[in-house]
Structure 1
């Protein structure tokens, strides 16, 4: 490999799926003003990655082709651009790459969306945090208005698809908010979700699980809805009259539902979360992992040479926690 080239994975068009992922050698990017160049030690796959490949939010988040995907990246800074004050070469970091680029040996990140990674947090754990961790954090704090320091009065929270990337974080963070947590997941992951702190766990294939009906008869003050396979109307009767439902998998259908709720003047609130890579939020999550208060759940790890297998597994939709890709 030439000195100034790196291995990367890219796709060339919308809608090409796994078949359009190609392994290439491309120039190592150069950090511009307020950017850092990271030697990638680990990246993770999120559903938003392949949804963007399929054209999701195309008018608002257009891709330039060929495109190197991947938003979550952890590694070591090897070069800083002009104006960077917080980091230097050799610093271990984790970053959210707004423009993608994590599925490569090197990636460029904005200083404002990059945070330090302490030695207690592995590269894989760090790479598992940005998109999924921030979605869970912001759903609970910004959409649902909860504090994660245990000072709120106890409320009842439902987390659907609790064994997925966002769900595993939502369960743990909800417990930090002093919530009673009911969760849904597949039968094989019931024990895992209980180990993350859920008070009640339902197999989503059972009658009660399909309706997300609490075994203790509780109604939910807040729902963190992490799946597209369960219509929110199926558990609406189990939400309090002024409860909040936060959809972490936004779609056109979600927007229609939000509009309809407003038209019916219901006090129940349905909202969606679009993850914002806020530096202070990501720093908070890294700190929790360092302190042992938050555990990233790793489903599997793939080398960069098998990134298409990781991509396919994410599309399949049955990963437990996060899928990691390394060099």
Structure 2
């Protein structure tokens, strides 16, 4: 019997950007014992998706070519692997796919049971699909790297969130607001009021002298920086940090790794901490539940059909999305 085919978008080598994306018909994947097959209702892109295409993680990712990019999906379980206990056919779910295999820019994808969570009726497919990488990264940065308690307990901490109108940033502001925090945020001029509406106490236009210097308008020193932007040197952060302030770098480059190593070697109290997302089921369920309760909202930058995935890819590469970019079959 011939394999069932699906529409997907893939690329076959490093580089090429939007022009390298190809629309193809490929076989619907079969779930392994610990996987579920999901009919995708919505997917989202993250900056790491196009960066993988440029070869930033070669030779490790992607694991093979051609590859279907993307890791964040929401949809309906259409088949459960033989050892899957939590899900059955017909269940609505949100899942994070491995970056090694990708698979989000397609009509169907397979996901590990332990990286899949139930999606309650109050959470739409686009809202759910937007969460995995972006919201979990923001959650891990705040609760693990910065030790912020999101129930509002603990002493007040001063936090800076850079690129606060982007995918990770707009979740980070909302989550930080659940804790006992004073939030300074940076973004472009067009998004100042938007970021204030998310809960930031002070907002800086990153293109102004004050914004570029990351100085708090109220003169506060930052206990933690959730750094979602790129290209900011340590020398800009250091004078704005409290005595034991930490910069949690979500997109660390070679210079950030060098700074991290130097600060460790010299036992500096001010530190730069690279963050690598380690998805955990309980955190995944927590952020989905916050959306259900209306305590965390997904802001959608734009929606694109799978047939025009190139438009979404181009928007992601521009670096100017406000919130999340959604792709629907």
For the criterion TM > 0.5, the same-fold answer is yes
| Aligned residue in 2 for 1:166 | 168
**Aligned equivalent of 2:42:** 42
For 2:34 and 2:296, how far apart are their aligned partners in 1? 30
Match of 2:217 in 1: 215
CA contact (8 A) 2:238 2:270 kept: no
| Aligned residue pair count | 326
Per the alignment, residue 7 of structure 1 pairs with 7
For 1:290, the equivalent position in structure 2 comes to 292
1:136-285 matches, cutoff 5 A: 136-285=138-287
User: SS of the counterpart of 2:295?
Assistant: coil
Comparing 151-160 with 48-57, greater Cα deviation is found at 48-57
Question: Does 2:295 align with 1:308?
Answer: no
1:53 maps to which residue? Answer: 53
1:147-197 per-position Cα deviation (integer Å, ceiling 9, x unaligned): 111111111000000001110011111111110000000010011100100
Alpha-carbon contact 2:160-2:184 (below 8 Å) kept: yes
C-alpha separation in 1, matches of 2:18 and 2:217: 41
Matched-pair contact (CA < 8 Å) for 1:7–1:26: yes
Whether the 8 Å contact between 2:234 and 2:259 is mirrored in structure 1 is no
Q: Decide which moves more: 98-107 or 233-242.
A: 233-242
| TM-score normalised to structure 2 length | 0.97
Report Cα offsets for 1:244-291 as digits up to 9, x if no partner.
Answer: 110011222221111122233310121111112211111000000000
8 Å CA contact retained: 1:174, 1:181: yes
**Whole-Å separation in 2 of the counterparts to 1:248 and 1:130:** 15
Shift of 1:65: 0.6
In the other structure, the counterpart of 2:123 is 121
In 2, distance between residues paired with 1:234 and 1:50?
28
The 4+ residue runs of structure 1 with deviation greater than 4 A are: none
Contact 2:77 2:90 (C-alpha < 8 Å) held by counterparts: yes
Note the C-alpha offset of 1:105.
0.2
CA contact (8 A) 1:213 1:235 kept: no
Q: For the aligned residues, what is the CA RMSD?
A: 1.2
C-alpha contact (below 8 Å) 1:219/1:240 kept by paired residues: yes
Show structure 2 runs of 5+ residues with no match. none
**1-side partners of 2:241 and 2:140: how far apart?**
20
SS for the counterpart of 2:278 is coil
Kindly state the Cα deviation for residue 3 of structure 1 after the two structures are TM-superposed: 7.3
Using the alignment, how far apart are the partners of 2:96 and 2:234 within structure 1?
29
Contact 2:158 / 2:182 at 8 angstroms: preserved in 1?
yes
Structure 1: which 5+ runs fail to align?
none
* TM-score, normalization by structure 1: 0.97
- Separation in structure 2 between the aligned mates of residue 159 and residue 88 of structure 1, nearest angstrom: 40
2:68 is aligned to 68
Tell whether the 8 Å contact from 2:165 to 2:195 is kept in structure 1 after alignment.
yes
Judge which range, 137-146 or 227-236, deviates more: 227-236
Indicate if the aligned counterparts of 2:150 and 2:178 stay in contact, CA closer than 8 A. Answer: yes
1:274-311 superposed Cα distances (whole Å, 9 cap, x missing partner): 11221111100000000011111110010001111111
